[in-house]
Structure 1
Amino acid sequence: MIIFHLLLMLRVGRSTDDLVFAMKTVSVGDKVTLSCTRHHNALHKETLHWIKLVSGNLPEFLGGTYTFDYKGVNKTPHVTTKQEPGTYILHINEAELSDTGVYYCVKVKDLDMTFVNGTSLRIKGPEPDITAVIQELPSDPVHPGTIMTLQCSVLSDSENKMCPGDHRVFWFRAGSDDSHPSLIYVHGGSGEECERSPEARSAQKCFYNYSKNVTSSDAGTYYCAVATCGEIIFGNGRRVDVEALSMWELQKAKTVLVLLSFALAASLIVIVFLIYTIKNKTGDRCNDAVTASGYQQNQQTDEDTWIYSAVIFTMMKAERNAEKDGKAQREKIYTAVKALGLD
């Protein structure tokens, strides 16, 4: 790192007339070897360095050596730089997508830096089998409170599938203020419904739906995206405008609400009237039953009294002629009443 920062402080000279700049494309997992000519010169203190340039990043120092024979090796599990007869090589073991960039061999002499060799290296990954991502919008206008359904169709070719595993489908939404899309839903590994093309048996179309109860804040642009082979393939996006309810619809909703209120009030009045009527009828029946029971009891008491009086009168009449004494008469009456159990 110290050497790298010192290199940034050096004066940059012009490249040599025999500068070689090449384009190279390899696949993921391949071995890559880049070479830089090394002129043996023991009298001058010259050094060679490999650096990597990637757009948007700072230069990356990968290794350095002298122009004369030197056995020092800069080695990591992924990248190795070392001398070989007449060259200074850079070796990449099992290339990765992140190895894509521009590699320069730079010679430094007396604080002058000269670009000697350059290679634009592209690492090609497996090609995705997705051929198209098509989005569709509902035909009906979208209003708050309604259910909005968006559909995404993913076309793929199973014969060209080179990536392990299934692809995944995502839904993104960018707000009406043109903000960056935010993730709102993720589908599983398989489509809700898939069908094969009758023309090409290897081609198939899978449909993915996203439904939501719409609110006023759901306006924006919706994107369907498919992640496969380390890449994300976006659909063309669809704009969704949430329209406010019209005055006629608001008046209609208000009218329905008023009618429902009247119907509820009428139902409550009918229920109260029925309860009052049933309660009054039940009370009258109870009063009639009590009155009839009292009348029967009074009638029974009058009949019992008449019977007891008749018995007493009969006994008194039978002995009236035989007993004239008042005291004897009272004793007879008492005896008769006691015998009947009326004492």
Structure 2
Amino acid sequence: MEQLFTFLLLLFKLCEPFNSIKTYDIIQETGIRAANAGETVTLPCSCQHNAITYFFWYQQKLGHKPHLISNRMKHSKESIISPAYKDRFQVLSEPEEGLNSLMIIDLQPSDSGTYYCVILAFNAIEFGQGLFLHVKAASSNSQLLIQQSTLTPLQIGDSLNLSCSVSVEPCKGEQSLYWLRHTASQPSLMCPSAKSCIGLKNGPLHGVNCTSNLELNSVTSLDAGTYYCALASCGMVVFGEGTNVEIFLAPSFLVYVLGVAVVISIIGLLFLSFLRNKLKSKLCMSCAGKENQTENLHYAALNIKRKPEGQQQEDNHFSACVYSTVKSRKE
């Protein structure tokens, strides 16, 4: 039994460093990053945890599952690139520094999607927060046809209502609308959106017009950010201009907080004033006690009788009264 306990303890200690790996251990750029078609971009990633055995990169396009781009062992500089990405994707690695960055050459609109830096440790896979890469086409009229609603600042507890209107030409592939949120401190949030579409037969536009709404009830400060309406159509992704959502504390809540602060301040001032008066009263009583302890003078008359005639002449003088002071302190 003791040997079994020792074995389990050793196994727990062995697994402990692997289980402690968290998403925040993976240092990866998050949010939304825009780039133009034809450019070269590098997506940085690093992780220096001792338990890592493999590094991976995954790409997830809108509405699709993640696809493996590359994998390499921690202590190796050589990476295995999947055939679909071999021509334009490279991995920049520094095993000593835990560096595993992804470089994409000659960007294409179809490269738009979320890129995840992934690690493997003791058969446990951990994904980074992910970065959405938006590749803008060199020339696209569809981008001008996405219109998003404007929004006034909201208060905590309000409802968020965003609308998006997209006019596109029909194509063979599936056309889908998504909402993405971008903030500086949080990973991008992707929400598939239901759409209603009608055909456009008259006017300068031909094709379909689709509308989408995004609704959130009882918003909090975490819902703030820039919301983009994104269209996945014909192998490319087109973004709207974005709607900036600002969320503030409700005035009533601020008034309540300020009111409580004022009440607490008044109570504190009253308490300090009470202590001051009480201390002053004690000091005055002490001073009054000292004043009452004044010195009392008692006078005593000493009668010196005349000496007989037989004594020396210098003693022959009249009686004199000598007054002596005696101090008496009142107890």
TM-score of the pair, normalised by structure 1 = 0.33
The structure with the larger Rg is: 1
TM-score of the pair, normalised by structure 2 = 0.34
Q: Which has the higher helix share?
A: 1
